[in-house]
A and B are shown apart, each in its own frame.
Chain A
Amino acid sequence: MINWEIVVQNFPFLVVGILMAIGVYTVTMKRNLIKIVIGVEIIESAVNLFLITLGYVEGAYAPIYTMAPKAAENNMVLPTPQALTLTAIVIGLAVTALMLALAINIYRHYGSLDVRVARRLRE
């Protein structure tokens, strides 16, 4: 019998695993450069989701001191995972922008986004 309670509790991690697998598949198997960019984005999202999931503590309060209820005293989550995720999102954006710019340049030079065409550097 599947213990559904455990499955539900770990659902975010399951999603992280699935996203990771989809991302790695896209990066390694797809031949279109734009799809490779999307694959990298999916892997990044998987890791960001993982970090956010780590930041959730059941029964704890968001770390906002302004007008916090009495019960929140000494019962706030550490906002580190959220800070890490924000940083990772910003870095991910820079990477995506650069990758897309390079893809545009490759299209200009080769007239195609197919990795089989854009591989003069083989050998």
Chain B
Amino acid sequence: MMDISQHYPALIIAIPLFAAFLCPLFKERIKALATLAILALLATLIFVVLLAGQVYTSVAPITYTYGSSSPGLTLPSGYHVPVRIIFEIDGLSILMALITVILALVGAIYAYSSIKDESGKGKFFALLLLLTVGALGMVLTGDIFNLFVFLEISSIAGAALVAYYNYRGEANEAAFKYITVSSVGGVLVLFAIGILYSEYDLLNIAALGNAISTTGLSTLDLFALALFVGAFAMKAGTFPMHMWLPDAYGEAPAAVNPPLIASTQASLYALLRVTYIMYGGAVFNYTTLGWVLIVLGVFSMIFGVLMALKQNDIKRFIGYTAVSQVGYMLVPFGVGLSTIGDDVAFGTYGITALQAGLFHMINDAIYMGMLFMVVGCVYHATGKRNMEELGGLARNMPLTAIFFMIGGAAVSGVPPFNGFASKIMIYESIYNFHPLLSIIAIVVSIITLGAYVKAFQGIFLGPKLKEFENVEEAPTSMLVSIAVLAALVIVFGLMPSLVVKTIIAPAANALVNPYGYYAGVLGGV
């Protein structure tokens, strides 16, 4: 009797991947397709939860070695270094995997009604599942080249989905931008992998980190690090290379937005994995790297919210606030990284900043996914996406209006929603590092609130317009998927300490313990 509990990591990838390739067989039968996708993602969610149980009870990361006689066998006899592809799951990986699967599931439920009248439904669900597989693989893998492959899978599937409404010229334009940025970013990652391979003959993240920490940091290592940071920041939509993000998010079908956000955050995860774990063991000047992230974050925050103010297109408006929210994650990550060499500072506020950043990452994925789906409902019902042409929809679409209000309040950090819970942690911790950062963050939040009030008023309030007299509330499946995320927004907002303690703290602890990660994978080499 095979013990299935060892094989959860492989099943988490295999189930959605298999389902993805079944999808085209059903062609245009929406019911069968949605059922297949939802069941596959539900099964994946169950396995992620079961795996989470293992991760939280084990000290070392859970390893899964492909092609070996036993999944835990990371070093085959006679080898000093791992030669196989290994999945390494610690607290951070499982946190990201959880949020990815939930967002993909919600997207699949939403898609059931939202793409009913489009063609190419089979391909849509296949790509949706592939996008999920890409993001899941990125967060679970412990092999840097494997990470590149999954990154490309998610980029290609994501770009194809952005162009799903291919009868719109803008959708093709946005997809072209997205794939150009992602593929150049991906190739830079591959270049950095090549540099590291030339030096250490290794591809495993733990083994590479161990090698870098024992031999010390060379100039080539720093060059590779710069390439990694540049490429992943580019793919995560931070300031200088953010322009693809509002376009791609704005043009993608609303059902794709949640998994697309998950794949963007998988790039942020990769940034954390490389900086905190792979280079975490080497002694070098963390402060400089930390400040690079902080500056990128501050610019993303300010620039994103200022651009959001002048948007008339509702989806692009939310896209620009998403750029601004990426800044809220990068700044605390940078603060955490800057303080890593200083035990006192790290103990007092560095670790809180890191936890706050991770918490905000999860919260952002939830409320951003929700907001995109809410404006997707508006577009679905009215066929319009210009704020100036919309108005007075609150009477006909009361639930949508309420969900928009919840999402807008969460994004701008209004209590009692989840955005407030993580933002207050961010303000407090980065204030200790540099008061100015905290002030900027608060001001940007206030501007965000103003922008959302304006948008709410533009879309939902005002006199009833004649052309929208017969507009109906969005279909049930769309409302259900939004309600799932709205419930998470409220629960995370009401019980922040419980959430931080159960899922965020293990992730933060995993990040600040690179040696534990190396030893856990390599068996104390």
Contacts and interface: CB of A to CB of B under 8 A. Distances in A.
Partners in one complex: yes
Interface string B157-200: 00110010010111011111101100110110011011001100
Contacts of A54: 194, 197-198
Given A47-B191, A120-B169, A91 B149 contact: yes
A102 B177 CA distance: 10
A36 B180 contact: yes
Nearest to A20: B191
A43 B176 contact: no
B173 A118 contact: yes
A106 interface: yes
A88 interface: yes
Given A47-B191, A110-B169, A40 B180 contact: yes
A33 B176 contact: yes
A123 B160 contact: no
A120 B175 CA distance: 13
Choose among A33, A92, A98 the residue with the greatest number of B CB atoms under 10 Å from its CB.
A98
Interface in A67-97: 78, 80-81, 84, 87-88, 91-92, 94-95
Interface residues of A, number: 34
A120 to B, nearest CB: 5
- Chain B interface helix/strand/loop/mixed: helix
A51 B311 CA distance: 44
B183 A95 contact: yes
A105 B163 contact: yes
Nearest to A45: B187
A109 B176 CA distance: 14
B82 to A, nearest CB: 12
Contact of B176 (A20, A80, A94, A106): A106
B194 A51 contact: yes
Contacts of B177: 121
A88 to B, nearest CB: 6
Contacts of B155: 95
Given A99-B179, A102-B176, A47 B190 contact: yes
Interface string A13-56: 00000001000000100000100100010011001001100100
B159 A98 contact: yes
A84 B173 contact: no
18 contacts: A44-B187, A47-B194, A50-B194, A51-B190, A84-B190, A84-B193, A84-B194, A84-B197, A91-B156, A98-B160, A99-B176, A99-B179, A102-B179, A110-B169, A119-B173, A121-B316, A123-B310, A123-B311
Interface of B: 145, 149, 152, 155-156, 159-160, 163, 166, 168-170, 172-177, 179-180, 183-184, 186-187, 190-191, 193-194, 197-198, 201, 203, 247, 250-251, 310-311, 316
Given A50-B191, A81-B197, A95-B179, 17 more contacts: A20-B191, A47-B190, A47-B194, A50-B194, A54-B194, A87-B145, A95-B155, A99-B183, A102-B179, A105-B166, A105-B169, A106-B169, A106-B172, A109-B169, A110-B169, A121-B177, A121-B316
